[in-house]
Structure 1
Amino acid sequence: MQSSIIHHQTSIIKQEAQRLGFLSCGISKAGFLEQEAPRLENWLNQNRHGEMRYMENHFDKRLDPTLLVDGAKSVISLLLNYYPSELQNQESYKISKYAYGQDYHHVIKEKLKELLFFIQSEIGEVSGRAFVDSAPVLDKAWAAKSGLGWIGKNSNLITQKTGSFYFIAELIVDLDLEYDTATTDHCGTCTACIDACPTEAIVAPYVVDGSKCISYFTIELKDNLPQEMKGKFDDWMFGCDVCQDVCPWNRFSQPHSEPLLNASPEILKFSKSDWDEITHDTFQQVFKNSALKRAKFEGVLRNINFLKEC
C-alpha cells in the first residue's frame, strides 16, 4: 500500500513538472555525495575556482542536502530548456545563449514555487526549499544521480535526446519518493570540447579549470582581465558556449517554448558598434531583467574594451 502511494505521488510530481514546462524531472534520495567529496576537495585545492571564493564556503552543505533542509529525504532535479530559436547577429560581440532572455533565476524560481505549492496542495504537509544557483547545491551531480544525463568531458550535464542547453534546478523536500537511477556516459572517445576550448580550460577529460574559462573571466572575475588571454576570447563578451556548440549531442537541441526566455530584440540585432556606443542608461533600461546585469555595465564595458584591444 505504502509503495503504491509513493508511486502515485512521484508520478503526479513529474506530470506537474512537465505541465510547468520543465524538460525533464528526476529524483534522488537525499544524502551525502560520497563520490563528489574528493573531486570537489581536489578541485578547490588546485585553485580551479580562481577568485570564486564562495566555492570554498559551506563545503559540507554542498555535499549533503540534509544540512540545507531539515529532514530532507528527496532531491527533485529539473531541467529547463533554453536553446533559442534564433541566434544573435554574427557581426556582434558574443553572448552565451542562456542570457538571451530574462534572468533565468527569476523564471525558474517561480516555476519551483508553483511545483512546491502543488506538492503541498496534493500531498499534504511537505516542507522543502527551491534552489536555482542560489545556494551550495551541486546541481549537475544531483541531476546525473537522478538519471537526467551524464556529466560530460566539458563538465556539463549532457543528454542523448536534447544535448546540454538547459538550466538545472532542484526542490529538496522532506518526502519519500521513488528514486531514479543514473544513466551511462556517452562521450566515448570524443574530445571535441577539449580541442575547441579557446583558453584550454578543459585541462583533462571531465576536469575544467574554472579560473581559465571565458565565462569566469567575463562574468565572475571583477579585476582586470589578464593580458596573457588577449586574442583568445574569440569575441565572447558575456559567457561562452564553445564547448557546447561543438558537442555532437547538441545537434539534437530543439528551441525552447518559454516566452520569458525569448531573446531580447537588442541582443539579436545589436552590432559591435551598438555595443561600443551603449550608455549606462540604455544598458539599465534594455537589460534590466537580463542575466547581463550580473556583470554590471562596468563589467560589460571592460569586456568590450578588452576585445577591442585584441
Structure 2
Amino acid sequence: LPNPGDYTTLELAGQPIMVIRDREGQLRAQSNVCLHRMSTLLEGSGNTRAIVCPYHAWTYNLDGRLRGAPAMTLNEAFCKDGQALPQVRCEEWLGWVMVTLNPDAPPVSETLAGVADLVGDYQMENYQQTFFETHRWDTNWKVLAENFMESYHLPVCHAGTIGGLSKLEEMVCPPGEEAFNYHWILKEPDFVLGNAHPTNTRLSGERRRTTFLLAIYPSLLITLTPGYFWYLSLHPHGVGQVEIRFGGGMAPEFVNDPEAQSHFNALKALLDDVNVEDRGCTEKVYNGLCSDMATPGHLSHLERPNYDFAQYLNARVNGG
C-alpha cells in the first residue's frame, strides 16, 4: 500500500476493517462501517480518492473524517464536524501491516524484535507479493498451525513435492520465544528458488540456502527463503473449519530476473501442490483427534516448536 488512497479490507474477529494510506502518507487501520446506516464501505483492495458509502453516499476523507452527507441539512441535530470512523491500531513491521483490536497490546517492534534479529539480513520488507488467495479447510486452526511449525512431516506428507529437497538431519529447532517460535532447514543447492539468486549480495555461506519457518503467535505463519516467501494467516470458523489467507512472492533479485514470470509460475505451482498435500494431512489429523480413542504420542526433537506452541496456548487459556 505505497500510495495515498491505496487500501485493502479484511475482517478481524468479525469486525470489518480497512487499511488505507492517507494523503499525508500515514498508514491507517479504521472501521469499514458507515456512521449512518452501518453499511460496509470499501470492498477488496484498490485505490480511491475518498471513501464513499455505497448505500447513501456519505463520504469520508482517507483519514476517516466525515466530509459530506447528502440531504442532511434539515436534520438540525446533525453535525458532521468531529465525526470520524473509529481508528484501529496498526503498525508496519518488516514489510507487514500488523493490525490489532487490542489497544493495550505492546508494540510489534518490541514483541517481535527477535524475528528482526533472526532474519534481518534477508530484508523481507523488500520481497514482492505476487499472489493472494483465500481458502477454507475442514480442520481445526491449531492443527494447521502445528503442521506448519514442524518440518518432520516433509519427507512423508510432501513426498511428491518438497520432501526430497530437505534432510531431517539439516533441520534445527531452537527453543521458541514468548511471541513466536521458529525453525530452519537447509535447502538442496539444486532447488533454485530456495537458494539465494546469484546477484544476492546480502547473504553468504549457508544463509544462502537457509529457509526460516516463523510462527508468529497465534496464527501468522511465514516461510522465508532467500528466493521467495509464502504465508498463511489463519482465521477460525468454529472448531472444525479454518479460513486460510494464503499469499506469497519472491525476493527482489528473482522479481527483477529476466525469467521472473517463469520463476513465479514454478513457485505458484509448487505451493499449490504443497497445499493440497498439507490439506490432506491436516484434515486427517482433525478427523483422528475427534475420535474417542485418540491419544497424543511423544514428540520428536524436530517438533520442539509444537511443544512451545502448546505452552503458549496453555498460558493463554489459563490467563497467563
Please give the TM-score of this superposition, normalised by the length of structure 1. Answer: 0.30
Return the structure number with greater relative CO, CA threshold 8 A, min gap 6: 1
- When normalised by structure 2's length, the TM-score is 0.30
More strand, by proportion: 2
